[in-house]
Each structure stands twice: as structure tokens, then as C-alpha cells.
Structure 1
């Protein structure tokens, strides 16, 4: 088997959306599985809609997903001379022809074909002599499609798909201003870049039959096609922004980890038995085209949240701290001090058990920062009504007398206090938790108190008493 070469070829007319990210992932995994190359080509031939900002967003999204491409990304527009060269070669070989039809003439012919129930083939000049055109008249170059027979493509996902040649129009490959069309540029670039497998959305399946004819005209080897079903929303309809068709950067901002996104996108149309949690290493080892489903996958935020929670729990505390640190410092409008950093690092494993997204984790971690007096939220405020305050004051005095600030000693002191005051343990623990956390999610209360430290704990309790 020759070296496998795949490519991801986004159009820079907007962000890297979730469907594009999955396509990039599948190409990357297939290349890595076979020890081949994964290339990145920016299909920027549409100069009116392509923007530098969109290119930057695509590259940033790829880097966040950690889908490293081989070599330097290729700008399709920079290869326009090569595309033009191929079009003129096809013209010289009689595989293409000059079309002098005006926009108005083409519109009229299209309307007439529609009225007669015929396919519009764009072949107004297919059999005409170019000498019939006015001298110096502008022209486009159209491919001369075969009119008889049919073409069957053995798609690695869709299976055998057949289209009759009579259904295909003589598409333009070179515009009248000399610029190449998308259909031509894609084929030339895939051929020149040595692409062996074209893995892309099944909205491009019809394009494959048009592009096939360029390969045939140039006597080039056809790549293996694999057209992936599109992603739908939970309701089975085409994915839209309300479902989650957002840019990859939006998922980063929402607090998803890149490895969780890779795992989720992998399973969004591909399977390996009943495995749901699949590491990147295993994904590279197992990935194939045969296990891509033919039906549309459905995007589900609940499943993504569940996977993200798993990967948050698996992540090292230092890594999580590095991710949430800047957000915490922005909220505080200052840098974290060494004490706060040490507290958060100790607390993160327990906090991660409850978090599904990184902002939740950051919110929980913020209770270990020095932000006295704490803001007390809804349910916590209800735990701190007037008759509880004397209990808190006594509890603060009791905890101040603790000489060894460790979880077992702290717990023993609280239990002893509750017993002495003839109170159920919950009647002591709940207001303490409310006072020291402000209602934020935390792990075990006694461990939280140990991490906060004696001075901070007592200070927060007395803040509530004095409030």
C-alpha cells in the first residue's frame, strides 16, 4: 500500500465549525493510523468571502484540538497559475472548450431547460467553432463531459454509488477572468499534493462525480473517496447554531477540554464496539473507514458534558490550574498569591469530581481565594439566619482552639462541639459550610476547612457573625 496522504481543506469564510472539526479529526486519525501524512490546505479561491480572520480562527481551532498537520498549510489561491495551466492543457487536448456565452445567454438557456424539464448542461458552445465568437470576446473554459454511460464510485463509507453521465453539466473550470473554479482547484491540488484518501462530508458526494471527470481527462489516479454523513441536532434536523453548530473556539470558551472534544467527535459517527471513552492513542490504533456509519450522527450536549467531566477528573491538578488561573485572576482583578495557588492545587482533585465544564471548576476553585467577606448566594444565605449566628460564633471559638489543623482533628472538634451543644451534626456542619463556601460547590467540608487554613476559616465564620 502506498503511503497514505490525507488532507483537511476548509474554506476560510467563517469559523472552524463542529462538522469541519470532525472531518479534520478523521483525516488526522486515518493518516496517523497508517503512518502517513496529514496535510492542511486553505481553500481560499473565493476571494470575496475569504478573510484572514477566518484563516486565523481555523488554524487556532486546529491547534486547540491538537490536530497537528504535516508541513506548512497550503493556500489554494497561491496555486492559481498551476490550476490555469491544467485547464489550458485540457483545452489543448480537446478535453475542454471555450465558452463565449454571456451571463444573460446562460440564464436564458437555464430557464428554457427548466421549462422543458431538462437538465441544464451549459453546453452552448460545446460544438461551436470558436471563430464564431467576436474577436477578443471573453470566454470561460468548460470541461467536455461524456454524454453516454455512467460512472460508479466505490465510496469507502457510502459503498457503490452510480451517476449517469448525462446528468452532469459541462462545468466551468476556468472563469472568463482566468481564475480557476473550486472544482478544478481541488482536483489539481489533491493530485499535486499526493492525496490518496479524500475524507469529507457527504454533501460533497455529487462533486466527486464531476471531479472524477477531471482525473479521467488528465489520466491521473483517482483517490479513495470516503463521504461522511453530516451531523444533525438531537431532533434529527440539520445541525444549526441552536444545536451546537458553533465555532471550535466557542467550545473552548464553554470549558471543554480538547481531548474530550476529540473523543466526542470521534464517536459522532464512528464506533469501536461499545467503547465510549477512547483515548487518542487508542483512536489512532483503532481508527478505520469501515466503522464510519452511513446515517447522520446526532449532536448531544449531555453526552459531551459527560465525557468532558471524565477528562476533567483524569487531568492533573497542575494542568487544570494552568487553564483556570487566568480566569480567576481576571475575576479577582489581581494575581493569585502563593497561598491561594497552593490551596487551589490541593483542592482541585476533589473539585474536579463534580465539574462538567471548566468554568464550573473555576467557580468552585474561587472559594479558595482570599475574597473576604464572601458573597453568600441563595441557599447558603438561608442557612445563615439569625438563630444560627450564635452557633457559628461558638463554633469559631471552638475551632480557634484547635492546635493541630488537620482533617481528623477538625472533624473531632466539630463533632465534640455539636455533642456539647446538643445539636445534630448537620445543624453545625451546614451553616459552617454556608459561611466558608458562600454556597459554592466544594468537596468534603472538613477537607475544605483544612485546605483553607485555620485563620481563613475562622475569619470567614466571624465575618458572618458580624454581618
Structure 2
């Protein structure tokens, strides 16, 4: 039997950490046993589903290299198919029309809550004759078995059982004519021959309802595995509304896809203890039953640390090219040369994301007059002109251009002018970079060619003379 899994997100918001983990687990399991992986967009909640979120799901899957063999299937384009099954259930008297108004259902719910009972439908329309017709609008409900229990074996949690008397007759078609989630999922899984359903634990309560419909249709039951929830540092469940869990935010902020997948795969599966793993190599060893039952904790700071660790200990060529492409889109002055390479190499160990690497490189590459102007008060109080001009002359006369030579030169200037090395470094940073903080000034100086460096210092002395 061919194993077929599916990733079936709802496009009601940008895809987040929990959804990507489900996608990764369904993909890994399918690939581990040479099965098929299907992508399905469950968009029947038309009031909340947006095309832009469907597009972002595909964008994220492609960015993370989680591929699929079929799809993406779109539920809203399969409404006729769902209606076919609803007609079958009505014809076999396994479903019925419900004419109950919102007011009646609201009163029923209130009564149950007042009595300390779990709110559920009371079956008022269940026992009406199938020939009964009312001109009012109606919903269609599935006839849930009244007696016994619905039990299934979960590949992560073991045996789970629900008493049928706790389940009400769920609506499978709303009064507005649209089918509901539980019906659509059943039809899709049957048509697509899904053998394994791997999804979040919030769907456990849906499972007995779906199994009851499958049993009513005399259809095979897939194998279920419900993965645990992911908690934030506050101990609460992560949601789509939390900015730090949006995968597109991670992408735009410059997190690396291989780092993100390495981090996510271990949120519930602890087979590997390395910080960075090759996801493709995990396909052969992935096992659903190795997933923990307990919730996992998502730590954004830890993710950033892993990302920085990866940037720092991998080849710099990719990051240099990435930074160049990103910067050159905004400003054509950027050139792919030794200066940019030096700047990127200098900041690789200091940047937790590619976005920060790009921003830091941009600040070093371009030293604007406006950024220097922010430090004019500081330059005035330092009597900086009397310091900068001798530094300019010494640098102009320097023949060597290495970190050690520049460091010795700065020490020499410090002694001769009776100014601390820290103050000299501060002045040079402002002149060269237009900022007060940077990596070691000797490292920074050697990145630039002498002509460019001296021109930046000269520019500052001209500004000081003009203002003061």
C-alpha cells in the first residue's frame, strides 16, 4: 500500500511555526517510506480565508524546500464534490435537515451552561420525518451514533476513546449552503487516499466525529498522529497573531531556512542533538512514534543564537553575494569587491540574521554627511580638528596596511598627542563610518583602501572648518 500524507493549512493568516512543523513532519514521514506528500489549502471558511495567505503558504513551502507530489488542492474549488457526499448521507438517512433558529440554539446553550452541562445539540430535528419540509433556511447535521464509544489508536498518544453520547450531531452543511470543515476533510482524505493524518493536537476532538462519518460511509480509517502544541516563553500556546512566529517574518528578517528547519524539527522530536542538521539526511530515520507527547517551548532568542552560530561558522561567500544583491537593489553604488567582502566578513560573527548583516554592511559601506552631523557636538568638545589632522597625515604616510601596523600607528599617535586610544578610535569611527560603534578600528581601517579612507577623513575636517 502506498503511504500518502497531507499538509492541509487554512489560509486565515500567515503560516507560523506550528504549521511548518506539521508540514515538516508530514513531509519527512512520507519521504522516509517513499510515500507521497500532498498539499491542500482548506479555505472553506470564506469570511476569514484570503488569497494572500494561500500564496504565502506556497511561498514558505518553496523557501523551506518542503516539496509536494500533488496539489495544491483548493477546497473552495471542490464544493460540488462535498455536496455529492452530503446527498448520499441524506439519502441513506445518516444526515438530516435542521431548521433550528439561532435563537433556539442560543437558548439551548444557555440552559446547558446554567445546568452545568456541556453545551450540545439536543437532536430536536433528528426525529422529524425525512419528508418534513419547511420553507425556512436549514442546516444539515450528521446523525452521530448515540450509544457506545469511538476509539482510535494515535501513533503518538496511544489509544484515545470518546463516548458517543458526548458528541452532538455536528453540522456538515451550514444554512448558507457551505459545507463545514469536518465534512470537507473526510471527502478530501477519501478522494486523495490519505493513509496517515499528522496534525496538531487541537484536532483530537475532531477525530471521533470524522471517524463516525467514515464509518457511516463504510470507508477506511486513516492512521492518526496528533503532535503536541508549541508554547511560547510565557507558557501559553503560540498563535498566528504572534509576530515572532510568522515564517514570512523570519524570511524577511534574514533567518536561514536550513537553520529554521533544524530548530523546528526538534520541537517535539529529539532523535538528533546537533544544533544544525541536514534535513534531507533525516528522511531515513524519521519515525512518528518518536515524537514526544509533551508540549515544546519555542525560544526566539535561541533561534537567533543558532542562526548567528551558523552564519559565523559557514563559508562567507554566500553571505557576501546575498548582501551584495540586497544592497545593490537599493543603491547602484555598491560594488562587488574587496571592500564589501571585508565588511561582510567583519560582521558575519556579529550578526544574528542576514537582515542585520546587510544593515551593518550598509552603514560601513556608506558614510553619509547626515550621520556624521549627529556627532558634531562631540567633535567640537574634543577639539577634534587638532587631533584628526595629525592622524590624517600619519595615515597618509603609512606604507603598510595591515591590522598590526595600523594598531601600532594608533598607539604612537595616542602617545604623541596625549589622547587615549579609545578617543582616537572614536574619532576615526565617526570620520570613516559616521557612527560611534563598530568592530575594532584597526580591522575597520584595513578593509578600506587608503584613498577612500583618507577622503572620508578629509571630508570631516572640511565639515568642521565650515561649521566652526
Same fold (TM over 0.5): yes
Quote the residue 2:226 is aligned against: 227
Quote the residue 2:198 is aligned against: 199
Aligned to 2:332, which of 330, 335, 340?
Answer: 335
Q: Matched residues in 1 for 2:58 and 2:5: separation?
A: 17
Q: Kindly tell me: are residues 386 and 139 of structure 1, through their superposed partners in 2, closer, same or farther at Cα, counting changes over 3 Å?
A: closer
Q: Matched residues in 1 for 2:225 and 2:286: separation?
A: 14
1:25 aligns with 2:21: no
1:170 aligns with 2:169: yes
Quote the residue 2:360 is aligned against: 364
TM-score normalised according to structure 2 size:
0.86
Aligned to 1:351, which of 347, 351, 356?
Answer: 347
1:128 aligns with 2:125: no
Q: CA deviation at 1:186?
A: 0.5
Q: CA deviation at 1:429?
A: 4.6
Q: CA deviation at 1:428?
A: 4.7
Q: Matched residues in 2 for 1:118 and 1:310: separation?
A: 51
Deviations 1:107-158 (A, max 9, x none): 4544455555365235223233123434x66543322211111122221222
Quote the residue 1:183 is aligned against: 182
Whether the aligned pair in 2 keeps the contact of 1:347 and 1:451 (CA below 8 Å) is yes
Whether the aligned pair in 2 keeps the contact of 1:187 and 1:211 (CA below 8 Å) is yes
Q: CA deviation at 1:20?
A: 1.9
Q: Kindly tell me: are residues 18 and 125 of structure 1, through their superposed partners in 2, closer, same or farther at Cα, counting changes over 3 Å?
A: same
Q: Kindly tell me: are residues 384 and 61 of structure 1, through their superposed partners in 2, closer, same or farther at Cα, counting changes over 3 Å?
A: farther
Q: Matched residues in 2 for 1:380 and 1:29: separation?
A: 58
Secondary structure of 2:44's aligned partner: coil
Q: Kindly tell me: are residues 337 and 254 of structure 1, through their superposed partners in 2, closer, same or farther at Cα, counting changes over 3 Å?
A: closer
Q: Kindly tell me: are residues 432 and 384 of structure 1, through their superposed partners in 2, closer, same or farther at Cα, counting changes over 3 Å?
A: farther
Quote the residue 1:70 is aligned against: 69
Q: CA deviation at 1:279?
A: 3.0
Larger displacement relative to structure 2 (267-276 or 242-251): 242-251
Q: Kindly tell me: are residues 395 and 89 of structure 1, through their superposed partners in 2, closer, same or farther at Cα, counting changes over 3 Å?
A: same
Secondary structure of 1:353's aligned partner: helix
Map 1:412-431 to 2 at 5 A: 413-414=409-410, 428-429=424-425, 431=427
Map 1:58-457 to 2 at 5 A: 58-114=57-113, 117=117, 120-134=120-134, 139-239=138-238, 244=243, 246-272=245-271, 274-314=273-313, 316-325=315-324, 328-329=327-328, 334-338=331-335, 341-373=337-369, 375-376=371-372, 386-387=382-383, 389-407=385-403, 409-411=405-407, 413-414=409-410, 428-429=424-425, 431-439=427-435, 442-457=438-453
Q: Kindly tell me: are residues 308 and 383 of structure 1, through their superposed partners in 2, closer, same or farther at Cα, counting changes over 3 Å?
A: farther
Q: Matched residues in 1 for 2:377 and 2:254: separation?
A: 28
Q: CA deviation at 1:452?
A: 1.0
Q: CA deviation at 1:366?
A: 1.9
Q: Matched residues in 2 for 1:310 and 1:377: separation?
A: 35
Q: Matched residues in 1 for 2:93 and 2:369: separation?
A: 83
Whether the aligned pair in 1 keeps the contact of 2:3 and 2:36 (CA below 8 Å) is yes
Q: CA deviation at 1:247?
A: 2.8
Q: CA deviation at 1:24?
A: 1.9
Larger displacement relative to structure 2 (161-170 or 392-401): 392-401
Whether the aligned pair in 2 keeps the contact of 1:4 and 1:195 (CA below 8 Å) is yes
Larger displacement relative to structure 2 (227-236 or 245-254): 245-254
Whether the aligned pair in 2 keeps the contact of 1:384 and 1:431 (CA below 8 Å) is no
Q: Matched residues in 1 for 2:146 and 2:236: separation?
A: 36
Q: Kindly tell me: are residues 267 and 380 of structure 1, through their superposed partners in 2, closer, same or farther at Cα, counting changes over 3 Å?
A: farther
Q: Kindly tell me: are residues 376 and 358 of structure 1, through their superposed partners in 2, closer, same or farther at Cα, counting changes over 3 Å?
A: farther
Q: Matched residues in 1 for 2:373 and 2:265: separation?
A: 39
Secondary structure of 1:46's aligned partner: coil
Larger displacement relative to structure 2 (303-312 or 438-447): 438-447
Whether the aligned pair in 2 keeps the contact of 1:234 and 1:243 (CA below 8 Å) is no
Which segments of 5 or more consecutive residues in structure 1 lack a partner in the other structure? none
Whether the aligned pair in 1 keeps the contact of 2:157 and 2:293 (CA below 8 Å) is yes
Q: Matched residues in 2 for 1:380 and 1:25: separation?
A: 53
Secondary structure of 1:73's aligned partner: strand
Quote the residue 1:460 is aligned against: 456
Q: Kindly tell me: are residues 372 and 170 of structure 1, through their superposed partners in 2, closer, same or farther at Cα, counting changes over 3 Å?
A: closer
Q: CA deviation at 1:221?
A: 1.9
Q: CA deviation at 1:82?
A: 1.4
